[in-house]
Amino acid sequence: MNKTKKPIIGWIGTGVMGRWMCHHILPLASEVYVSNRTMAKTEPLVAEGAIAVNTPAEVAQKASIIFTIVGHPIDVEKVYFGPQGLLEHAQAGTIFVDMTTTKPSLALQIAEMAKAKGCESIDAPVSGGDVGARQGTLSIMAGGDQSTYAKILPLFEKMGTSIQLQGPAGSGQHTKMCNQIVIAGTMIGVCEALTYARKAGLDGKTLVATISKGAAGCWSLDNLAPRVLKNDFKPGFMIDHFVKDMGIALEEAKHMKIALPGLALVEQLYIALQGAKKGSLGTQALVQALDSLNALD
């Protein structure tokens, strides 16, 4: 990134996390153009000085660095490809940074098409949920060329505190799959522990305060267990999106011919919650699936 001249930045996807991530980099841009499928979600950023536009094409025509963080791989495809997509309207030299958790193969496709247009790209999924997005403490897992990564690093440093180039295009997405596999395992552990504690008559707050200081300590225990104890299932990260991520990881595992039985089990429990119309809840609602299995209130 040119240190003497502030870039024009585009941002597509201003939801629970994207809004705050964009908020952190506003001071580093001369102008910021924002777009979202539900345009009302751009209003907080517009109030801070961003300019709302209606389509990815308009963003591509204005900005030299464009960030995207949308829901599913099909959403990424709609944003980047097609007659109104970013790549069709990109200016030579544009840097695309897709922070959606999506398929490694899609990250590679974007990288190849961007290069053919004289552009650059980075895949940079994140971890840390809504809390990390608000506080600027996300973990950012990047894939792409070192030179492109170096240009974007000052912007990443406003959004996260753990930032690492993992390798060439697609490597960021593969790293995020590893991250989601770990989260699936820790979430089932946290929710099973809280279920056990409730049945045993333990005080949940005391339990969490105690075991979080030992070998069981983890982000999910610190940040999501307190929400479970308050019956707060508002999404920092939605079940629907997590099921999408687990599906990608299992699909990649199948291609690599490796078995991930723990992940497959947790995916089935979350799918059951989707079947109960709870897909818009936060991932901590996994405890509700266990409650159903154990007939607990």
- Residue 48, token pair as written in the block: 């801070």
77 close to 46: Cβ distance less than 8 angstroms: no
DSSP tag of 238: B
What is the rounded distance in angstroms from the CA atom of residue 166 to the CA atom of residue 174? Answer: 9
Active site residue 62: no
Cβ count near 217 (within 10 Å): 10
What is the rounded distance in angstroms from the CA atom of residue 233 to the CA atom of residue 70? Answer: 22
What is the rounded distance in angstroms from the CA atom of residue 106 to the CA atom of residue 85? Answer: 15
Comparing CA positions, the residue from 31, 53, 43, 108 lying closest to residue 76 is: 108
Cα atoms in the 13 Å half-sphere on the side-chain side of 124: 32
What is the rounded distance in angstroms from the CA atom of residue 142 to the CA atom of residue 136? Answer: 16
Catalytic site residue from 176, 213, 244, 277: 176
Comparing CA positions, the residue from 17, 15, 61, 20 lying closest to residue 41 is: 15
Buried b or exposed e, range 268-296, using 16+ CB within 10 angstroms: ebbbebeeeebbebbbbbbbbbbeeeeee
Written as one letter, the residue type at 271 is: I
Going by their DSSP bridges, the two strands 65-68 and 51-52 should be labelled as unpaired
- Annotated catalytic residues are 176
